[in-house]
Amino acid sequence: MNTPLKVAVFGGGSWATAIVKMLCENLPTVGWYMRSETAIDYIKEHSHNPNYLTSAEFNNNQLFLSCDVDEMVAYADLLIFAIPSAYFHDEISKATIDFKEKIIFSAIKGIVPETGLIIGEHLHKAFGVPFENIGVITGPCHAEEVALERLSYLTIACQDESKAVLLSEFLSGDYIKCKVSDDIIGTEYAAMLKNIYAIAAGIAHGLGYGDNFQAVLMSNSIREMKRSIKKVHKMKRNINNSAYLGDLLVTGYSTFSRNRMFGNMLGKGYTVKAAMFEMSMVAEGYYALKSAYESNKANKAKTPIIDTVYNIVYLKRSPKKQFKLLADILD
């Protein structure tokens, strides 16, 4: 594909690796920012990420690798961020080059702890990036299945539809199908909320609840998600579309889901600190939970599942007792 645009991915984890893999199948060169010089040196020598999705191999002639944020911002016209939300502000603040005129897409499914905002809102308010230059990449899609080249689906959302279409062309392939949306706020909130519901699904599994309860939990979760999103961004949307319901289901049920794994450990009796240490990976739902809980309280949204997970994670209440109470009010 011939294009004047240069694209760069920021992040060294599984999602960043998967996105670089998708882009390399359509673009002659892809920029890749990683914090670790050691990881960059390893990729240059062995052609795969030493820490994530090691089955995904790269042609190093296609990669422009750097651990310098300014160098990568200067290189690219379109920036894709796949950095855990907990580290996003610190990483992007390293840039001394103005990036307001860049096209920026977020593949981050979480809340920025410093401001309590989703990534798009944070970029707009903290760095002055206009909303028409901000987009979202969401699922339903697991990075691990991209690495295995299993058929996967992405939703690309942006106020400026032409930019969403452009990125969808860069990411589409034999095993990647892309859909375009203009619901940038709704899809990003859904991507954040589904991680919290995946924690709930994991807790239920850890406590020994079966498939029947999980089905009811997911049914209630999508309705709760609809109420929560409607409070922050009211527009016509079909909550049953893949970007909302599909992403919720794959995150809530899949063994690849870090948030479900985190919840499962809590249900089995791990403390939050012990579960985080054992996983050695970021569960985005943990960081999103506090902001989502406070937002829903302020907006008077009825969210008993989020409230239950908050009580367990932040107030350290008994998962067994909290889920017994929750089970009595689900329908």
Which CATH number fits the domain that encloses residue 217?
1.10.1040.10
Tell me, what CATH number does 25's domain have?
Answer: 3.40.50.720
Strands 117-118 and 111-112: antiparallel
Phi, psi of 99, rounded to the nearest 5 degrees: -115, 20
Are both 33 and 145 inside the same structural domain?
Answer: yes
Higher per-residue pLDDT: 288 or 10: 10
Are both 169 and 275 inside the same structural domain?
Answer: no
Number of domains present in the structure of the chain: 2
Tokens of 43: 């990729």
Percent of the chain whose predicted confidence (pLDDT) is above 70: 98
- C-alpha gyration radius of the chain: 19
pLDDT digits (tens, 9 = 90+) for 219-262: 999 999 999 999 987 888 889 999 899 999 999 998 888 899 99
Higher per-residue pLDDT: 20 or 3: 20
Mean pLDDT of 82-104: 91
Mean pLDDT of 78-87: 92
Higher per-residue pLDDT: 232 or 107: 107
The verdict on residue 2 lying in a domain is no
Burial class (CB in 10 A: 0-12, 13-18, 19+), 151: exposed
Are both 83 and 123 inside the same structural domain?
Answer: yes
Which domain does 317 fall in, by range? 186-329
Are both 212 and 170 inside the same structural domain?
Answer: no
Contact of 115 with 126, CB cutoff 8 Å: yes
- Ranges of beta strands (E only) in the chain are 7-10, 30-33, 63-66, 78-81, 103-106, 111-112, 117-118, 134-138, 152-158, 176-181
The verdict on residue 1 lying in a domain is no
Q: What pLDDT, on a 0 to 100 scale, did the predictor assign at position 109? A: 85
Cα angle 181, 182, 187; round to 5:
70
Mean pLDDT of 312-326: 97
Tokens of 109: 């499914």
Task: Answer yes or no: is pLDDT of 2 > 70.
Answer: no
Q: How would residue 3 be classed by pLDDT, with cut points 50, 70 and 90?
A: low
Q: What pLDDT, on a 0 to 100 scale, did the predictor assign at position 312? A: 97
Contact of 27 with 1, CB cutoff 8 Å: yes
Are both 225 and 301 inside the same structural domain?
Answer: yes
- From the list 325, 323, 311, 317, the residue with the least C-alpha distance to 209 is 323
pLDDT digits (tens, 9 = 90+) for 8-38: 999 999 999 999 999 999 999 999 999 999 9
**Using CA atoms, how far apart are residues 236 and 324, in angstroms rounded to an integer?**
35
What mean pLDDT, rounded, does the chain reach?
93
Q: What pLDDT, on a 0 to 100 scale, did the predictor assign at position 161? A: 94
- Last residue within a domain, chosen from 182, 200, 224: 182
Are both 47 and 77 inside the same structural domain?
Answer: yes
- Last residue within a domain, chosen from 135, 161, 182: 182
Are both 281 and 142 inside the same structural domain?
Answer: no
Are both 87 and 145 inside the same structural domain?
Answer: yes
